[in-house]
Each structure stands twice: as structure tokens, then as C-alpha cells.
Amino acid sequence: MAIVRSFKGLRPKPEFAENVASPPYDVLSSDEARERVKGNPISFIHVVKPEVDVDPSIDLYDEKVYNKGKENLKRLIDEGFLIQDKDDCFYIYRQKMDDHIQTGLVAVASVDEYERGKIKKHENTRLEKEKDRAKHINVLNAQAGPVFLTYRATEDIDNLIKKVMDDEPVYDFTAEDGIRHTFFVVNKKHLIEEIKNAFEKLDCLYVADGHHRSAAAARVRNERKIKDAAYTGNKEYNYFLTVIFPHNQMYIMDYNRVVSGLNELSKEEFFEKIKEKFNVMESGKKGNPYKPEEKHNFGMYLQGKWFHLTSKSGTFDEKDPVLSLDVSILQENLLNPVLGIEDPRKDKRISFVGGKRGLGELEKLVDSDAFTVAFSMFPTSIEELMAIADAGKVMPPKSTWFEPKLRSGLITHLL
């Protein structure tokens, strides 16, 4: 069973939607966010990254930052830019990026189901980041950024979603990055009930992106439950804000790696070591990057040249859903044993580059001497993600880069 619930969403008046909607909090640095809000006082960045409105010398986790976010949310409500629906609704959120279209249900999901493992995870969380998101929820008394969930697609749900989109959208705009965002309100009671019942037939949901937000929602619920003498399982803090997409509409891009230094190896020694586990071929020069076209193949850019690396048979466990991932193969057979990167979460010599920035970005980073070598990856599939979650295992860090990103500010769940 997958429990999803309608709710009274807080959202922009239609004429303000495009200016309110913002990138999620974790795809912009603080400096980028400060630039982005110039000339736009109603951008939701003021709520999800409120450090833009305090002195840059103040620590990101200072109480003043969270209080500023609360103040900014209240201002957007008081000045009439955001309004709350009077009745419980579902919402439909469609995104179009070039030829790719994905359409998801906006709903609140059950913290109980998350804690029971019916909403399955595939990543570990960092305690500091989890506490930060929980503090943000507690101080604002709102969930301001949705968790990106997925499920195994069914024809029943597909047909219900299509039925909703026969109506006029409340928002329909193309953002500055070229991605089109279309938003529908589902307020017909019979449709709400049909959607709810259709989701109850699913075995489970999966967290695609937003592990820290979902963990933070559970943390907040458990803290409030202890303090709430009139606790019931139906209070708003028992649920968390989500957008839920069918798995066959998910678009995962490559998540590439750049590394500083060759671990004190000469170029010749480096190549000798990687040839133990990979077949290596030169594939092109700068400007002609190698983009892997199938699993277990990698591109490598070093000293102005691209190389094609193919994993040798028997160098990884093909039956293990985690160890057979390309990110695991690169880590276990090259990054750790050859370049000495034991923990990619902590080692400052490695950085990660989302596929949206293109392979030219890898060349740029290496040619600038900021890094020494770059690796282009074949994207992890949604099927691999679900298999790992089903097995109760965890992916290595930076395994998936989902596009397009969900805009913040189009919908908020008040607690």
C-alpha cells in the first residue's frame, strides 16, 4: 500500500508563479543564490536559501538564517503573493525539458510508511544536512521543498493523471533555463478519491531525490509527537510534501568525476595500473569527448586527450546490485586502488559534475589545472535504483543526477 493524501497547498497567485518559482535549495551556492534574487523580491529563494538576506559572514546554520526564512515566507503570504487553498487538493506538476516530459502527482506522503520502509531509500544521509532541513521545517512550520518520489508505472494511474490534464492549468510558464512548468489543481472529490485508491494498490514508493528532506520530515514528526499531548496520526506533520512520478518518465543524467593529482604516479605508471582492470583505448582529443554509450564503459580525459575504458570481465560482481553499478566499478577498481580515494564523500581531491553541464565542463576543469583527470560515466538507470532500494542496500555517493529539477515555491505544505 502507498498512502498519499490531498492537502491545502500554499501556492502563488497565477500572475506571480513564474517569479516566485525558484531552483531547489541544494543546486545553488549561496553566492549564486544572491545573484539570482537581485531584482526579484518574491523569488522563493528568499525562503529556501534565506542566507541571501543576511550578512554573508553569518554562519549558514545560525538561528538568524532560519528566522529570516520564516519572516520571508510570512511576507509573501501577508503581501498576497502566496495563497492557501481552502479545501484539500491534489496537484499535477508537468515538466518539459527539450523532448523529455514528466508528469507527477503532488501530494503528501506518510512519515509512518517512510519509517516502515514502504517508501524505500537508496542513499545514506549526512546528519548535519538532515538537522539543517529539520530546523528549516520547524522554524518555518512548513515544508518548502518537495521530495522527488517514483513508483512502478501503472496504466490506472496514467489514465487518471491524463483525465486531470483535460482541465486548464493554473500555471504554465517556461523558466530561464528553457524548462516548461505546467501545474494543475485537482479539487474534484471523486477524482481525489480515485487517485488515492489507485496509489493504495501500489506495493511501495521510492525516494528518487530528496533523502535529506524526507529524513528531516521524519525527524520533525518524531520530535513533535513527543511534545504533543493531543497527538493524533492525522496531524499535518505526520506527512511530507512530495511530487511522485512514474518510473518510466524518470530522466537520469550521467554524474561525472574529476580528480586532482595522480596519487604521485607518473602518467606511465598510472596507465599500467588502470590496465589491470580496464581495457584502454585512445578515443579523441580535446573537443571530441568520449560519452559512454553502454554500461561498464567510461571516458577518461587526461592531458588534452580522451580515452575509452572498458571493464574487464571478472573484475566486479555482476550479481550484486551495488557492486555492478558503474560508479562502484570506477570507485573499487580505479579511484580507490589507483588514485587512493578511499572515501569519495570526504576526500577533497575528488569532485562531481552533473551531466547537464556537459563533458566540455570536464575538459575545462582539467585544462585549467584545477583537476588532473576526468571520468565520464554512463547514467545509472531507474531500474538499478529500484533494485538497490528493494534489496535494502545503498548506492555510492553521487550515483544519480535527475533532470529536470523540481521548482520550489509552486507548492508548500504548511504544518
Going residue by residue through the chain, which has 415 residues, state the pLDDT in tens, using 9 for 90 and above.
899 999 999 999 999 999 999 999 988 899 999 999 999 999 999 999 999 999 999 999 999 999 999 999 999 999 999 999 999 999 999 999 999 999 999 999 999 999 999 999 998 888 899 999 999 999 999 999 999 999 999 999 999 999 999 889 999 999 999 999 999 999 999 999 999 999 999 999 999 999 999 999 999 999 999 999 888 888 999 999 999 999 999 999 999 999 999 999 999 999 999 999 999 999 989 999 999 999 999 999 999 999 999 999 999 999 999 999 999 999 999 999 999 999 998 899 999 998 888 999 999 999 999 999 999 999 999 999 999 999 999 998 889 999 999 999 999 999 9
For residue 205, what is its C-alpha cell? 514508493
What is the Cα–Cα distance from 202 to 200, expressed in whole angstroms?
5
Is 126 exposed, middle or buried, given 0-12, 13-18 or 19+ CB atoms closer than 10 A? middle
Domain 255-378 has CATH 2.40.40: no
For residue 161, what is its C-alpha cell? 493523471
Q: 365 phi and psi, to 5 degrees?
A: -65, -35
Residues near 30 by beta carbon (within 8 Å), at least 6 away in sequence: 49, 51, 52, 56, 60
> Using an 8 Å Cβ cutoff, are 175 and 407 in contact?
yes
Angle, nearest 10°, between helix axes 127-140 and 63-78? Answer: 40
What is the Cα–Cα distance from 380 to 369, expressed in whole angstroms?
28
Q: Where are the domains of the chain?
A: 4-251+403-414, 255-378
pTM of the model: 0.91
Handedness of CA 87, 8, 93, 400 (dihedral sign): negative
